[in-house]
């Protein structure tokens, strides 16, 4: 399968990524960048960026990267494990994510992602997930 373009990927947005304002900004095999605006709805009751917001950005970036470059033998994928370390937060502006595939196996892919306040160098979160590639059924 050929890698999907940024425009094609952004047309795939629905569900949670669409609700949160997820936007793909760059895509190539094994790498995807995305961003979303920080809005009051994405903050926790304590006024800081909700952890689930950061995870949703990172997991969506890794998922869109996986989907964009699935082998022809695959019917799709599912996330089977994820982990996030939080190093900071954001209160306004936008957060950006760069996801990189670090393992490209026949049945799994492993992706690492860093989330930053858009335009800053210091990451606010480090994320890793494992994707299970789902094979097409033969019947």
- Per-residue pLDDT reduced to its tens digit, 112-135: 999 999 999 999 999 999 999 999
Band of residue 14 on the pLDDT scale cut at 50, 70, 90 = confident
Contacts for 33 with CB less than 8 Å, ≥ 6 apart: 24, 25, 26, 27, 61, 96, 97, 98, 99
Q: What percent of the chain has pLDDT over 70?
A: 98
Query: The tokens of 85 are what?
Result: 């370390």
Q: How many residues are present in the chain?
A: 139
Residue the block writes with tokens 């094994």? 30
- Per-residue pLDDT reduced to its tens digit, 48-87: 999 999 999 999 999 999 998 888 889 999 999 999 999 9
pLDDT at position 131 is 97
Residue-range domain boundaries for the chain: 6-135
The model's pTM is 0.93
Which residues on adjacent β-strands are paired with residue 24?
A: 34
pLDDT at position 12 is 85
pLDDT at position 13 is 84
pLDDT for residue 1 is more than 70: no
Q: Provide the CATH topology of domain 6-135.
A: Thiol Ester Dehydrase; Chain A (3.10.129)
Contacts for 126 with CB less than 8 Å, ≥ 6 apart: 84, 85, 87, 112, 113, 114
- CA-to-CA distance for 119 and 139, rounded, in angstroms? 49
pLDDT at position 139 is 58
pLDDT at position 2 is 57
Q: What are the phi and psi torsion angles at 84 (to 5°)? A: -135, 135
């Amino acid at each position: 399968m050929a890698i999907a373009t940024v425009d094609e990927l952004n047309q795939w947005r629905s569900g949670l990524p669409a609700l949160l304002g997820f936007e793909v900004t760059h895509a190539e095999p094994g790498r995807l960048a995305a961003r979303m605006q920080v809005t009051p709805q994405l903050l926790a009751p304590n006024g800081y960026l909700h952890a689930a917001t950061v995870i949703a950005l990172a997991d969506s970036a890794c998922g869109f990267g996986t989907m964009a470059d699935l082998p022809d033998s695959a019917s799709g994928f599912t996330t089977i494990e994820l982990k996030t370390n939080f190093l900071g937060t954001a209160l306004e502006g936008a957060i950006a994510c760069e996801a990189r595939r670090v393992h490209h196996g026949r049945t799994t892919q492993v992706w690492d992602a860093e989330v930053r306040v858009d335009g800053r160098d210091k990451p606010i979160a480090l994320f890793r997930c494992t994707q299970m590639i789902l094979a097409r059924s033969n019947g």
